[in-house]
Structure 1
Amino acid sequence: MSEMASDSELACVEAWYYNPSGEDSRLPHQYDPNRPVPPHHLTELGVLIWELDADHYDNNPQLEKIKKDRGYNYSDIVTVAPGMMEDYDAKIKHFFTEHLHAQEEIRFVLEGGGYFDVRDYDETWIRFRIRKGHLIVLPPGMYHRFTLDTNNYVKAMRLFMGLPCWTQHQRPADDMEARRTYIAKVLNNSIAAQ
């Protein structure tokens, strides 16, 4: 990755190893005691997270700089909540199915929140909470999934490079170029550096 968020940028994020109990996916799924994941570990996996002013997103110099530096030239706003989108239940189930994308997944949380789960080196899940003000970038080829929290509400800006493209490739998708590149450039390099 050409740019990594610093630990101070990631310090706003709570992350932990996901407890695969049979509880509602919208609950935290923490072990007892909790097994926290340090912010720099998310960075090693290729996750970028910033904390920005979400109340003034339409006039935010920090957001504009990130967009310019990373080549994000298109955005839209989506609200995920019961009654706010067509086929809500099916979409929530779809988001929580393990998948990857051929492009970065970029979300800036304007209101509400939820959880992203990403795969660690050993295939265990790491869960991290997203909330208002978090701008997150997941790299192409990273297996992940998303769920709302128990408030059942998130309003987020989606950002794209070029024309909007959001295709979810369910696992297994190991033959995709994005996955092979992620393994070679992120997973293998990070493992070798340890």
Structure 2
Amino acid sequence: MYATSNLRLSTLFPSYCSFLPFFLRENTHTHTHTHTHTHREREREREFLEMESSFQDGKEEVIQAWYMDDSEEDQRLPHHREPKEYVPLEKLKELGVISWRLNGGDHETDEDLKKIREARGYTYTDICEVCPEKLSNYEAKIKSFFEEHLHTDEEIRYCLEGSGYFDVRDSDERWIRVAVKKGGMIVLPAGIYHRFTLDSSNYIKALRLFVGEPVWTPYNRPHDELPARKEYIEAFVKKEEVGSNAVKAH
């Protein structure tokens, strides 16, 4: 059980990684000495597993995903294929993209958000409003947001107001558009190529979160030599390719 969920849990909860040795080892010589600690860590694991399934009710109402068409029309349009081809949120998780639905209320007093921050080690937050009236150098920044790029750390956004599109690539290089509305929280893993744009509402207010001091540096594609990109490929792209090949073989 623990071995098969190792990658999934460490992706969902980075701080959980430090506890994995307690769950993975079997050592009869240390059972007495570690019994109390092991019990405590198993309780911690149970809490993390519960959190993984928490904040899911009604998530599709604030987060949806679909494969994009190849049109070069206005980037703010939905760009559905014909017929529409939606992507299950479980598919996004296989690509390392995780999400939750929160209440979209006061983020400073939100207990659910607090639990996520503590579990994932998010110590820094700020608020970013993206719209022509609030964002300086609006046109230049919108253009830069929509350039395909990656970061060497996670990109975490909690939508407080408005809406927007996060585009990510699957293992076959196809664009998936992820629409996020008020109450939706999304985490893009380090090393994933992605881009962002507003939708036709032209407004989003989002809480940005970070582990430690924020580093917002974008690395426009191609930057395949970066360690973060190589680690992402190993953790998600190759895994996805193996799974797809296994399905085709059957």
**What TM-score do the two structures reach when normalised by structure 1?**
0.95
1:70 to 120, 125, 140: 120
Which has the higher Rg, Structure 1 or Structure 2? 2
1:3 positional shift: 4.2
Aligned residue in 2 for 1:139: 189
Does the 8 Å contact 1:99/1:169 carry over to 2? Answer: yes
* One-letter amino acid of the counterpart of residue 142, structure 2: I
Aligned residue in 1 for 2:78: 28
1:8 positional shift: 7.7
Matched position secondary structure for 2:152: coil
* One-letter amino acid of the counterpart of residue 95, structure 1: F
Moved beyond 6 Å, runs of 4+: none
Does the 8 Å contact 2:166/2:195 carry over to 1? Answer: yes
Aligned residue in 2 for 1:166: 216
The CA RMSD measured in Å over matched residues stands at 1.6
Most deviating of 3-12 and 44-53: 3-12
* One-letter amino acid of the counterpart of residue 87, structure 2: V
Q: Deviations for 1:118-141, whole angstroms, at most 9, x for unmatched residues?
A: 001110100010110111100000
Does the 8 Å contact 1:15/1:38 carry over to 2? Answer: yes
Aligned residue in 2 for 1:119: 169
- Relative CO higher for 1 or 2, CA cutoff 8 Å, sep ≥ 6? 1
Aligned residue in 1 for 2:142: 92
Report percent identity of matched pairs.
Answer: 49
Q: Which structure dedicates a bigger proportion of its chain to helix? A: 2
1:40 to 84, 90, 93: 90
Number of equivalenced pairs: 194
Matched position secondary structure for 2:126: strand
Residue segments in structure 2 that go unaligned for 5+ positions in a row: 1-7, 13-51, 245-250
* One-letter amino acid of the counterpart of residue 71, structure 1: G
Does the 8 Å contact 1:7/1:40 carry over to 2? Answer: no
Residue segments in structure 1 that go unaligned for 5+ positions in a row: none
Q: Which structure dedicates a bigger proportion of its chain to strand? A: 1
Most deviating of 12-21 and 36-45: 12-21
**What TM-score do the two structures reach when normalised by structure 2?**
0.74
Distance in 2 (CA, whole Å) between partners of 1:140 and 1:27 is 27
